[in-house]
Structure 1
């Protein structure tokens, strides 16, 4: 049998059915729930010839290990995996590329939150290493609220080499590190840029750090030494957005 995955949540499934309905094999919907968005999704699925089953809540809970599914779960084919060649095309297409690099973010909730914020901020692509990084799963899609189906997620074999390649293409690579000498509000971040965020707790790997053009930090005034990676990503991305729109 071909590889399959479980997707769930209203926003995530709405995004799939609008962009890649051919991925959906079957919908499982909470029996007796009267919800306008749910009804709309079911009707769209039926128009595409996607099978729909109405189930008890426990059946849905069991399919997604108790995650918050909002009354709808889908059996689906995996989405297309993007690689370095796709990234090259994106950089060529955009006059002022805006990229987010996540170096070893392994928590699917953090990846989903980063994708959602990246989409909102207008990031053209999110880059992750193939190994030691969270992959697109039902949890990531649910947390991303549809962004996982929209924003290109590029999986690269060698992150350091990819950073070198995007630098050759004229993209300034800015890494975040607590020991950086200048904070984000002192840095010039308005040209072609790739923001590099490190993993939860550990930060960027040494080799990744060495391939950055510049290191910046977020000012921390309180007793907490660092922010959650998805929160820090949001702060950094929107400072870049502010500078790009000046």
Structure 2
């Protein structure tokens, strides 16, 4: 566990990214050389779950070790319970669970406390437990699904706010996470401003392209746009500015 300070996220950035799909974000990040930003296994627990945006608050599990992964560990100073009390409002808890699907990292009581503290969501490459209870808390969750056994049946919790692996993606504290129906995507903190600007531009372009497709336009030269269509798009942007 480290003492990395949780940074606030500008509400204007949250609003901007809430209007951008994770599909668009992966395209923008790919154009800037980042291919591995979609966290595998992070599916919305509820279909149609709204998009959420927040700074990553990281938590890390390692394989279960019998002398450490015990119910008594839940009262340890280094525990999932203690980690929740360190989570700031507006963050997204990103939990590296090594893709384990037969031990639930969090259940209804822990999710209820997270929701009470204003946590924006939970993203994990693992699973949760107490499904009906978790759904009842109102906390948005992205995970591989659910399992009845507790975390200590297959995992050992070792700390929070340190670099983790979640779904094959390196996640650092205070990176930005956007999660929607396609899963969760990571934006490196240092690239945030650039990505927001580029993503908004990409969304505008794709909105225009979709309008052209709906009007019967053919795809070659339109998607991506050639020089003539770039000029038409620029005129459309100027008209709708």
Q: TM-score, normalised by structure 2?
A: 0.25
Bigger RCO of structures 1 and 2 (CA < 8 A, at least 6 apart): 2
